[in-house]
Amino acid sequence: MLITIPDVLTKDEVAEFRHLLDAADWDDGKTTAGAQSARVKHNQQLPPTGDLAQALGQRILQSISAAPLFLSAALPLKILPPMFNRYEVGEAFGMHVDNAIRINPLTQERLRTDLSMTLFLSEPEDYDGGSLVVEDHYGTQEVKLPAGHMVLYPSTSLHEVTPVTRGARVSSFFWLQSMIRSNEHRTILFDLDQTLQDLAVRAGADDPEVVRLTGIYHNLIRMWADS
């Protein structure tokens, strides 16, 4: 399941983020890559424990915590601090899969990576190449969203960032551990929740069928959620 979460940041917020990020000092992206990923990772990365990364990351977390579509799709249990990367001309991240377990650089807590997220901070017309390409059960999907929009996809997916040939691609990326381990179960719950919301608008939240389906939704969460 690949879901676009629009307007995580406003255009003014994106401009503020970019003003700060464009003036920042960037590290080699290989510093946080696993053994396999390091061979194909060629980009720049903001130090994840630095003050700027922490401040901007906290603002992103506050924004997504108020986004109903994100909460419905992700059912988050724990979210790793957002990180930031930059791809300039000739830089790319070849096909790879994200590490199953990642360590929170601030707390040293280990999290299982169920879902990966990329929040775009460059407008598509400002750079060529640099598409996020995700392989899933439905084939290969190419993602290049407006600045301020975010894509959410299973961390089990093979994916890559194609080489940038003009301009610079700046984004935030991070992972979460969901209350629901199975991607298939999350997809069912997301579809049911979205259907419930549509039905409640048409029939009313007190409609007996809406109430019954809401009970089924929550009982499925009880059945599938990690303790």
Residue 149 in marked binding region: no
Paired tokens of 169: 């691609």
Residue 186 in marked binding region: no
- Asked whether the beta carbons of 198 and 190 are under 8 A apart, the reply is no
Measured CA to CA, the distance from residue 150 to residue 117 in angstroms comes to 7
- Exposure string for 92-122, b = 16+ CB within 10 A, e = fewer: bbeebbbbeebeebeeeeebbbbbbbbbbbb
Residue 222 in marked binding region: no
Measured at the alpha carbon of residue 167, what is the angle toward residues 161 and 168, in degrees to the nearest 5? Answer: 50
> Which helix (H) or strand (E) covers residue 111, if one does?
strand 110-112
- Asked whether the beta carbons of 150 and 117 are under 8 A apart, the reply is yes
Residue 98 in marked binding region: yes
Q: Return binding residues for 2-oxoglutarate.
A: 169
Give the residue ranges of the annotated binding site for Fe cation. Answer: 96, 98, 159
Name the binding residues: 96, 98, 159, 169
